[in-house]
């Protein structure tokens, strides 16, 4: 499977906010803050439990 195409853009209505768009069919497997960073782990749909 190809890597996801990720786009980041400013939020349309909220100053200082951002929208992260991930193209394709992916599942958010985990979302973890670590220090000042935020990690989102993606899995292909076939990996769904």
- pTM equals 0.67
d(CA 42, CA 31): 9
Cβ proximity of 18 and 5 under 8 Å: no
At 46, is the secondary structure helix, strand, or coil?
A: helix
Query: What pLDDT shows up at residue 40?
Result: 95
Query: What pLDDT shows up at residue 2?
Result: 81
Residue-wise pLDDT tens digits, 2-48: 889 999 999 999 999 999 999 999 999 999 999 999 999 999 888 66
Query: What pLDDT shows up at residue 46?
Result: 80
For residue 49, pLDDT over 80 is answered with no
d(CA 48, CA 29): 9
Cβ contacts of 44-48, under 8 Å, gap ≥ 24: 44/1
């Amino acid at each position: 499977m190809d890597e996801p195409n990720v786009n980041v853009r400013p939020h349309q209505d909220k100053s200082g906010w951002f929208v992260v768009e991930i193209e394709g069919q992916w599942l958010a497997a985990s979302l973890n803050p670590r220090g000042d960073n935020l990690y989102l782990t993606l899995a292909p749909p076939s990996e769904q439990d």
